[in-house]
Amino acid sequence: MPATKLILYDALVRTLLCYGSSVWAGSTGICNDTGVLSQTEAAYRQTLRILLGLDKATRNEVLYIVAGRPALGVLFMKQMWRFHAGVLSSD
């Protein structure tokens, strides 16, 4: 059951959180783990804990391993670098 919930979460929520991050993440400095990213990341982790039935005391690293998902900051950076690599290769 948690696997189905995670698939739905990825499809319905995470896509909204990451939408356009390939463009705005680098230009706003959001990938430095302060401000909005920090709050968004905390909400993301809390939701993963609820979906997986894990305790609040579960370390973040363990949470990401159990969930099989990276931190949002990692996703943002990955999308940003993929976007910029595509732009550079189109020259």
- Rounded Cα–Cα distance for residues 24 and 18 (Å): 10
37-51 tens-digit pLDDT: 777 888 889 999 999
Largest CA distance in the chain: 49
Which pTM was predicted? 0.72
Q: What is the pLDDT of residue 66?
A: 94
Cα Rg of the chain, angstroms: 14
How high is the pLDDT of residue 31? Answer: 53
pLDDT per residue rounded down to tens, the chain (91 residues): 678 988 998 888 877 777 766 666 665 555 555 566 777 888 889 999 999 999 999 999 999 999 999 888 888 788 777 776 777 787 5
